[in-house]
Amino acid sequence: MRVDLSWLKLHPKETERFHLEKLYGNVEIAKGVHLLDQAMVDLEVTNTGRLMVGKGEIKARMELECDRCLNRFEREVELPFTVEFCSEDNRAFFKNEETFVYFVEPQVDIEPVIIETILLSLPITTLCSQECKGLCSICGQDLNLAECHCQEKEIDPRWEALKKML
């Protein structure tokens, strides 16, 4: 996913729009996180002089794994993001600012920024739905699909003891 900043680099104060697409199909970008289909990026970049400041939106479809029931499910995301491009000649002005994307050639790959934005958007706990009941910790039954009887069995011994007392 490359943006070509060669025109913009020569035109301070101008803004250029980019539309990028990449076909992922089914690519694992982190454990349990797959990118599906085509990811699309719309980006507007302004040359502010020493920097090129970009604002954009990512559209992607992901397959995730629920932390509770372990089922896979799909989710579409639309994520705003910002990116600052800095040519190597200007690096010194910004004291190696870590968040910038530095470039020598004006065809700059922004895929790392896209992937990072997607990963940072994921919650710490991924759930297929807020109401997900998860798996039974004893028998492993997916409690979204059916109930199991483990809870009842746990009560049994006490119930037996009580019956003997009576």
Q: Considering the rule CB under 5 A, would residue 143 count as an interface residue with Zn ion?
A: no
* Interface with Zn ion (CB under 5 A), residue from 97, 138, 152, 153: 138
Query: CB-wise, 40 or 136, nearer to Zn ion?
Result: 136
Query: CB-wise, 96 or 130, nearer to Zn ion?
Result: 130
Size of the site for Zn ion (CB under 5 A): 11
Mapped onto helix, strand or coil, the DSSP state of residue 30 is: strand
CB of 121 to Zn ion, least distance (A): 19
Amino acid identity, residue 108? V
Of residues 42-81, which lie at the interface with Zn ion (CB under 5 A)?
A: 66, 68-69
Of residues 111-130, which lie at the interface with Zn ion (CB under 5 A)?
A: 128
> How many other C-beta atoms lie within 10 A of the C-beta of residue 4?
13
CA 93 to chain CA centroid, Å, is: 32
SS (H, E, C) 78-111: EEEEEEEEEEHHHHHHHCCCCCCEEECCCEEECH
Which is nearest to 102 in space by CA: 81, 90, 85?
A: 85
Using the contact rule CB under 5 A, the part of the chain among 10-18, 45-53, 55-63, 136-144 near Zn ion is 136-144
Q: What phi, psi does 154 have (nearest 5°)? A: -60, -30
Q: Considering the rule CB under 5 A, would residue 148 count as an interface residue with Zn ion?
A: yes
> How many other C-beta atoms lie within 10 A of the C-beta of residue 131?
7
Q: Considering the rule CB under 5 A, would residue 156 count as an interface residue with Zn ion?
A: no
Q: Considering the rule CB under 5 A, would residue 133 count as an interface residue with Zn ion?
A: no
Q: Considering the rule CB under 5 A, would residue 150 count as an interface residue with Zn ion?
A: yes
> How many other C-beta atoms lie within 10 A of the C-beta of residue 110?
22
Q: Considering the rule CB under 5 A, would residue 23 count as an interface residue with Zn ion?
A: no
List residues binding Zn ion (CB under 5 A): 66, 68-69, 128, 132, 136, 138-139, 141, 148, 150
